[in-house]
């Protein structure tokens, strides 16, 4: 839950944010000061996220001569993604925000994934003109499903959300986006990013004459999450630390079975 915007931060004051996310196979953490990533960590020891996250945060701060006093806020990937992974980051974020008395910002893990991929050297951002690229993050949710959303980016630095975070059938979702992009008229490309390999065939099955489709395999990195958080911190956005919860998007398998048992 995001609280009502406060007065925000004076434009001239630097804002330093500790940002981290464990919603995917990547344990990603970064220190971001305004639009500059001071340092970043990216570890792929997925089963050790709960063991490594606090030591990695401590090392990241120590390597950059920072303590809690030097931070303006804590930013955490709120999900969706791995059920256990999302819970780890949110729990650590809430604990640090409370212990250090720092504002907490929750950032969509899908938006951070999309924003990071769009800012990467592989995104191919030139030559857009007045057109848009729809950047579509994807995290494999098994059974042909993906955690996904859609964001519109343009050559002038514009970035806006088109579709809410959700879990969708990969093929149906790709078909829907291709049709909407063709009808829109401004879209020059649909770019699927993230865990694209399991669904690449469905993503790239574009009809003749349709909007070009491209996939970009990309791992979560926390610098993008931190940049999004700084912008929202400056707007005065804050989370209620005690009320803040992960965005799981769907029930866990155990919850589905329990709900079914209760209906029987």
**pLDDT (tens digit per residue) in 93-127:** 999 999 999 999 999 999 999 999 999 988 887 76
pLDDT of 231 above 90: yes
3-state helix, strand, coil in the chain (%, to 5): 35, 30, 35
> What SS3 state is found at 147?
strand
Residue 149 CA from chain centroid, whole number: 10
d(CA 144, CA 167): 10
Instruction: Give the number of other CB atoms < 10 A from CB of residue 81.
Output: 30
Gap between the Cα atoms of 250 and 14, Å rounded: 38
- In the chain the domains, ranked by start, together with CATH numbers, are 16-109+220-253 (3.30.420.40), 122-217 (3.30.420)
Distance CA 134, CA 168 (A): 17
Residue partners of 156: CB distance under 8 A and separation at least 6: none
Question: What number of other Cβ atoms are within 10 A of residue 239's Cβ?
Answer: 23
The pLDDT, as a whole number, for residue 97 is 98
**Cβ atoms of residues 32 and 229 within 8 Å:** yes
Across the range 61-69, mean pLDDT stands at: 97
- The pTM assigned to this predicted structure is 0.90
pLDDT tens, residue by residue, 165-205: 999 999 999 999 999 999 999 999 999 999 999 999 999 87
- CA of 155: how far to CAs of 57, 128, 163, 177, 187, in Å? 34, 5, 20, 20, 12
Per-residue pLDDT at 114: 98
Q: What distance in Å separates the CA atoms of residue 79 and residue 29, rounded to the nearest whole number?
A: 15
Per-residue pLDDT, 9: 58
In the prediction, which pLDDT does 255 show?
45
- The separation between the first and the last C-alpha atoms of the chain, rounded to the nearest angstrom, is 34
Judge contact between 112 and 81, C-beta under 8 A.
no
pLDDT of 81-100, one tens digit each?
Answer: 999 999 999 999 999 999 99
Separation CA 98–CA 27 (nearest Å)? 22
Peptide bond into 80 cis (omega under 30): yes
Q: What is the pLDDT of residue 4?
A: 45
């Amino acid at each position: 839950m995001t609280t009502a915007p406060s007065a925000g931060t004076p434009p001239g004051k630097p804002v330093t944010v500790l940002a981290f996310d464990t919603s995917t196979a990547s344990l990603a953490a970064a220190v971001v000061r305004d639009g500059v990533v001071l340092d970043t960590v990216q570890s792929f020891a997925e089963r050790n996220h709960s063991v490594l996250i606090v030591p990695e945060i401590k090392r990241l701060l120590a390597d950059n001569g920072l303590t809690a006093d030097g931070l303006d806020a804590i930013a955490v990937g709120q999900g969706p993604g791995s059920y256990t992974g999302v819970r780890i980051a949110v729990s650590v974020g809430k604990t640090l925000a409370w212990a250090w008395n720092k504002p907490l910002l929750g950032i969509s893990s899908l938006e951070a994934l999309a924003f990071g991929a769009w800012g990467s050297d592989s995104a191919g951002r030139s030559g857009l003109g007045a057109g848009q690229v729809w950047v579509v993050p994807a995290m494999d949710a098994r059974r042909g499903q993906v955690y996904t959303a859609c964001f519109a980016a343009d050559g002038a630095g514009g970035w806006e959300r088109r579709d809410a975070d959700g879990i969708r059938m990969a093929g149906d979702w790709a078909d829907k986006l291709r049709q909407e992009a063709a009808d829109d008229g401004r879209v020059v490309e649909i770019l699927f990013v993230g865990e694209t390999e399991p669904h690449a065939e469905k993503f790239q099955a574009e009809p003749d004459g349709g909007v070009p489709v491209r996939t970009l395999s990309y791992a979560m990195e926390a610098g993008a999450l931190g940049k999004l958080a700084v912008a929202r911190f400056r707007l005065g956005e804050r989370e209620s630390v005690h009320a803040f919860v992960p965005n799981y998007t769907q029930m866990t398998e155990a919850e589905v079975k329990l709900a079914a048992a209760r209906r029987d």
